[in-house]
Amino acid sequence: MSEEPIADIDLTALISSRICHDVISPVGAIANGLEVMSDDSDPEMREHAMELITNSAAQASAKLQFARLAFGAAGSAGAEIDLRDAEKVSRDFVRGKHELTWTGPLATLPKNKVKLLLNLVSLGVVALPRGGVLNVHIDDQATRFEIRGEGKAAGLKDEMKVLLAADGPTEGLDAHSVMPYFARRLAQAIGMTINVENRAEEVVITAS
């Protein structure tokens, strides 16, 4: 028997917590850099602080831009999102330890479909804790998404795979586990099913 979905108000709170969790580190680094700039007159330290501020600001912006499309309303009901925008925010989001390849049509898709795609990209990053390559493929009709992650220790933990299942649990969700659960809710809303396959140094996440 399928578990009852959690209340929307609780889901909103968990997603908000997740977004805060993702941006608090770069925002904190910006604050630290500004403190150094105001208290230290050493040119080398000030240069290091400015580099920290610049990099952290770019990271915070990338995370927020990604979250706006992956979790936000992104326009009125029935709105569509350009896949080029989804690709851009994904590239900025994974920059650092991960490399992204993206193949798919030039098209606009219903917002929930794009939100699902972006949440799968986010799960692909989680599945590559030591970094690696994320290969995103969208078929020509956008009826199938494939996120293929390649890298050391690649794979999604069993508890996350369970949360992606249509009949998975809903109790005990937190800011970390809400990611796969929200992806599952999106997939159910648009009539798609998510599948995960862990392989040696590789993970494949599909939705169709």
Residue pLDDT, tens place only, 92-109:
999 988 999 999 999 999
Q: What average pLDDT does range 162-189 have in this prediction?
A: 88
The pTM of this model reads 0.90
Q: What average pLDDT does range 175-196 have in this prediction?
A: 93
Domain with 94, as residue range(s), is 8-207
Identify whether 93 is part of a domain.
Answer: yes
Report the run of H or E that residue 194 belongs to, with start and end.
strand 194-199
Q: Flag the least confident range among 5-19, 84-98, 139-153.
A: 5-19
Percent of the chain surpassing pLDDT 90: 76
Q: What average pLDDT does range 62-79 have in this prediction?
A: 81
The enclosing domain of 174 has a CATH number of 3.30.565.10
Identify whether 176 is part of a domain.
Answer: yes
Identify whether 3 is part of a domain.
Answer: no
Identify whether 97 is part of a domain.
Answer: yes
At 42, give phi and psi (nearest 5°): -65, 125
Question: Do the Cβ atoms of 93 and 171 come closer than 8 Å?
Answer: no
Percent of the chain surpassing pLDDT 70: 96
Identify whether 157 is part of a domain.
Answer: yes
pLDDT for residue 74: 56
pLDDT for residue 1: 42
Q: How far is 113 from 194, CA to CA, in rounded Å?
A: 12
| Mean pLDDT, all residues of the chain | 91
pLDDT higher than 50, residue 60: yes
User: What's the number of domains the chain is made of?
Assistant: 1
Q: What average pLDDT does range 146-170 have in this prediction?
A: 90
At 143, give phi and psi (nearest 5°): -100, -5
Identify whether 2 is part of a domain.
Answer: no
